[in-house]
Amino acid sequence: MQVDVTTRLGALAPATPTGFRSLDAMLSGGLRSGTVLALTSAPGLGRTAFSLLVAYMVARTRAGVVFASVALDATEVVAQLAARALHREYPDAQTPYGMIWSGQAWQDAATHRAVADSVDTVVKKVGSQLHLYRAAPFESTASLAECAAHQWSRHERAVLVVDDIEAFSAVGSGASGQLAAVNGSLESRITQVAFDLKRIADQGCAVIVTGLSRHADLMAPAATIAAQLFPGEVRASNAPEQKRSLGARPVDLIVSKNRVGPTGVVRLRFVPGAGTFEERAG
């Protein structure tokens, strides 16, 4: 037993960068198998956009990634990622992802080519690595375990991203799992799902799970890293940026629990129209 433990302690698993240097520094290089990052926020602060962006950046490192969501379908996911690529490749473009998702941007001759190029960029960079799993409401975490197992059987590194923990139910609900999820205690179900996700992570992948800020305490016991998004301070120096049509605004990612490194604040700029986050100074 002593030999086994010391061997495991000396064999540091490869880290998977999240794409945010400040966050990766707190995580000693990035996400590792066995870790659960619980990300919470109030509605509208971009927790889904942030988790999807991390999924995209992780997929670019050639890790196998599953993005599981009840609310988002493939067209909306691609629209958000394409809007980010458009924002980066065509800085003067003011085309929000809603126009891409609805098809309006495809009908406009002035934006069609740029949007098509952005979609091609997304597909070329992560088309074989990033997989969307459209879950049913209150679906059991057993299906998420199967998705994760498929990825870690094919890749050295695997990451499971679960959007909105409130929409899933735990293993063991039986055939009436959906009914039990509706009629049972929400708090109990969230805690059970969180520990189910921890068990999935322990099998060989990293897990990112999002939820509402009022459920942060329910998710934290099972989490390796707990972080929340809060509105950032609007300063005079960045006030002009607030007036951009894509709606850029400061947001702070506060890491309050971190079993692999320090806690602290990652200062970000959320651009809702482009479905993206950028690090900001100060």
CA pair distance 108, 54, nearest whole angstrom: 30
pLDDT at 17 over 80: yes
Q: How many angstroms separate the first and last alpha carbons of the chain?
A: 47
pTM above 0.85, yes or no: yes
Q: What is the pLDDT of the chain when averaged over all its residues? A: 89
Confidence of residue 239 (pLDDT cuts 50, 70, 90): very low
Mean pLDDT to the nearest integer, 228-244: 67
Confidence of residue 244 (pLDDT cuts 50, 70, 90): low
Burial class of residue 113 in the structure, from the number of CB atoms within 10 Å of its CB (0-12 exposed, 13-18 middle, 19+ buried): exposed
pLDDT at 11 over 60: no
Q: What pLDDT was estimated at residue 185?
A: 87
pLDDT at 134 over 90: yes
pLDDT digits (tens, 9 = 90+) for 44-71: 999 999 999 999 999 999 999 999 999 9
Q: What pLDDT was estimated at residue 243?
A: 42
DSSP 8-state code for residue 55 = H
DSSP 8-state code for residue 42 = -
Tokens read off for 58: 């992780």
pLDDT at 281 over 90: no
pLDDT digits (tens, 9 = 90+) for 80-94: 999 999 988 887 888
Domains identified in the chain and CATH numbers: 17-166+173-279 (3.40.50.300)
Tell me which residue of 281, 162, 145 sits closest to 223, measured CA to CA: 162
DSSP per-residue string spanning 202-214? HTT-EEEEEEEGG
Q: What pLDDT was estimated at residue 71?
A: 95
Q: What pLDDT was estimated at residue 176?
A: 42
pLDDT at 174 over 60: no
Q: What pLDDT was estimated at residue 6?
A: 61
CA pair distance 140, 145, nearest whole angstrom: 9
